[in-house]
């Protein structure tokens, strides 16, 4: 009963947010003189033939993979109370250097891919590490330094692309790095559709989807089932209490930012290893910022972020068919924007409702109730405080 209520409470806020967003968007569509019902139908219509339908699924999944990784990168830092706004710069730096390294070496297939992944994660981690070092040694707010480092990353990536790593010939309209050879590419996993008995889509499903799932599981376990994860969440909830109980807050800042940056380094790889095989002037930008929205929507839990990424990707897919139906694609943007806005508001509303209910329940066991046992850490005041709704408060 209690668990049921808890799940209900945690689903309440995002569900409310989605409903509010849809209502607001419907009003906007009405105002511009179009029919919201048509828009809704387009959103849900994946195509006429089985091949078109599976293709829609491919489009959604391929979009969701980088969004999920971006949300995850942001959330790891969020959980500890760090606002890593620099994910954008971290993944741009990581992708351009990984593309350069990947094109420069020749290795047997699995090693080649592994090398590119490791390089990307290392660069992302190092770039995020700058933020951490500045914070720990000089007390620079990570919000400021990570935003500023985005501009530096953009400029540096541009310099690397147009200078040392340039692969396209002089005069080409699009500047790119040299293509990564066959051995460094991540194979598509379209076989999945055959196994499931579905029609083959015309596009290719990113094999990197599997990596994203593994990363999601690893981060989830790390946060919820390890001493490190406990320290991280404890520091996020109350840095002073965490320090008092023997957690080295400075070391935690550095470790967390390194992990956040390493995950951020992966964001560009689905595209790089599965589709374009090079970094270039037209490489997808802005995923780092979208990751913030996805993390907010997913309430910083890996499962929630997966759903949030799928929701964003589901909405993005409709951008093209909506235009065929004479509805501006901006409708998608409006829905996404209002969802993020309302999720922030809804979280706060849900938290207050939970708190009031807990208050009525009569002071025993604190606001989270007996479910505090889920955390692996020591019992006591700090332990009982780490419950789901408290983490939302931290976010």
Partner 1 sequence: MTKAAALLLAGSLALAACASDDESSSGGTSGGGEGDLKVGVAYDTGGRGDKSFNDSAIAGVEAAVKEAGGDVTEDIQELSPNADGSDRAELLTQLAENGFNPVIAVGFAYGDIIGDIAAEYPDTQFAIVDTSVSEMGVDNLTGLVFAEEEGSFLAGVAAASKSATNHVGFVGGQESPLIAKFQAGFEAGAQAVKPDITIDVKYLSPAGDPSGFGDPEGGKVAAQGMYQAGADIVFHAAGGSGEGVFEAAVEAGQRAIGVDSDQYLSASAEQQAVIMTSMLKRVDNAVQGYIEDFAAGDLEGGSDILNNLETGGIALSTSGGFIDDIQGVIEDYRQQIIDGDIEVPTTP
> Binding to partner 1 by residue 114, rule CB under 8 A?
no
Q: How many CB atoms lie within 10 A of CB 12?
A: 16
If the CB atoms of residues 73 and 175 are measured against partner 1, the closer one turns out to be: 175
**Which residue, chain included where needed, has tokens 């590490």?**
129
Of 209-268, binders to partner 1 (CB under 8 A) are none
> Binding to partner 1 by residue 349, rule CB under 8 A?
no
Token couple for 60:
């959604």
Q: State the binding string over 66-105 for partner 1 (x if CB under 8 A, else -).
A: ---------------x-x-x------x-------------
> Binding to partner 1 by residue 392, rule CB under 8 A?
no
If the CB atoms of residues 155 and 194 are measured against partner 1, the closer one turns out to be: 155
Q: How many CB atoms lie within 10 A of CB 262?
A: 24
- Classified as helix, coil or strand, 280 is strand
Q: How far is the CB of 270 from partner 1 (least distance, A)?
A: 11
State which of residues 17, 59, 247, 263 lies at the interface with partner 1 (CB under 8 A).
Answer: 59
> Binding to partner 1 by residue 178, rule CB under 8 A?
no
For the chain, count helices (H), then strands (E).
18, 0
Q: Is 204 exposed, middle or buried (0-12, 13-18, 19+ CB in 10 A)?
A: middle
What single-letter DSSP state applies at residue 185?
Answer: S
**Which residue, chain included where needed, has tokens 């070092």?**
133
Q: How far is the CB of 350 from partner 1 (least distance, A)?
A: 16
> Binding to partner 1 by residue 159, rule CB under 8 A?
yes
Q: Which residues contact 161 (CB under 8 A, 6 or more apart)?
A: 96, 175, 176, 177, 279, 280, 281
Catalog residues that contact partner 1 under the rule CB under 8 A.
59, 63, 81, 83, 85, 92, 141, 143, 147, 154-155, 157-159, 161-162, 170-176, 202, 271, 276, 280-290, 292-293, 296, 316, 319-330, 332-333, 336-337, 340-341, 344
């Amino acid at each position: 009963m209690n668990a049921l209520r808890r799940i209900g409470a945690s689903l309440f806020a995002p569900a409310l947010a989605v409903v509010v967003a849809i209502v607001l968007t419907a009003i906007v569509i009405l105002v511009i003189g179009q029919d919201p019902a048509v828009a809704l139908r387009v959103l849900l219509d994946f195509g006429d033939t089985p091949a078109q339908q599976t293709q829609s699924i491919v489009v959604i999944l391929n979009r969701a993979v980088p969004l999920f990784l971006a949300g995850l990168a942001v959330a790891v830092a969020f959980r500890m109370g760090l606002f890593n706004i620099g994910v954008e710069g971290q993944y741009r730096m990581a992708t351009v250097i990984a593309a350069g390294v990947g094109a420069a070496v020749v290795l047997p297939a699995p090693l080649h891919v592994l090398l590119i992944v490791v390089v990307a994660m290392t660069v992302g981690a190092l770039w995020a590490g700058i933020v951490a070092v500045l914070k720990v040694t000089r007390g620079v707010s990570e919000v400021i330094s990570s935003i500023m480092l985005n501009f530096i990353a953009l400029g540096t990536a541009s310099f690397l692309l147009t200078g040392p790593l340039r692969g396209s010939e002089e005069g080409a309209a699009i500047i790119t790095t040299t293509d990564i050879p066959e051995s460094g590419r991540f194979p598509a996993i379209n076989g999945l559709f055959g196994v499931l008995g579905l029609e083959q889509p015309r596009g290719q499903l990113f094999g990197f989807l599997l990596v994203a799932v593994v990363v999601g599981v690893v981060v989830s376990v790390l946060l919820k089932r390890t001493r490190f994860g406990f320290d991280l969440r404890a520091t996020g909830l109350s840095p002073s209490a965490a320090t008092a109980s023997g957690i080295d807050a400075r070391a935690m800042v550095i470790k967390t930012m390194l992990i956040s940056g390493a995950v951020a380094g992966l964001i560009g790889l689905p595209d790089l290893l599965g589709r374009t095989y090079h970094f270039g002037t037209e490489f997808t930008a802005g995923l780092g910022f979208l990751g913030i929205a996805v993390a907010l929507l997913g309430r910083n839990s890996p499962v929630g972020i997966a759903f949030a990424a799928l929701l964003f990707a589901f909405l993005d897919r409709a951008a093209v068919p909506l235009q065929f139906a004479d509805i501006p694609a901006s409708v998608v943007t409006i829905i996404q924007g209002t969802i993020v806005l309302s999720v922030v508001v809804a979280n706060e509303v849900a938290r207050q409702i939970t708190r009031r209910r807990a208050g009525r329940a009569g002071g025993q066991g604190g606001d989270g109730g007996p479910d505090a046992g889920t955390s692996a850490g020591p019992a006591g005041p700090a332990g009982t405080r780490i419950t789901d709704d408290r983490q939302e408060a931290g976010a």
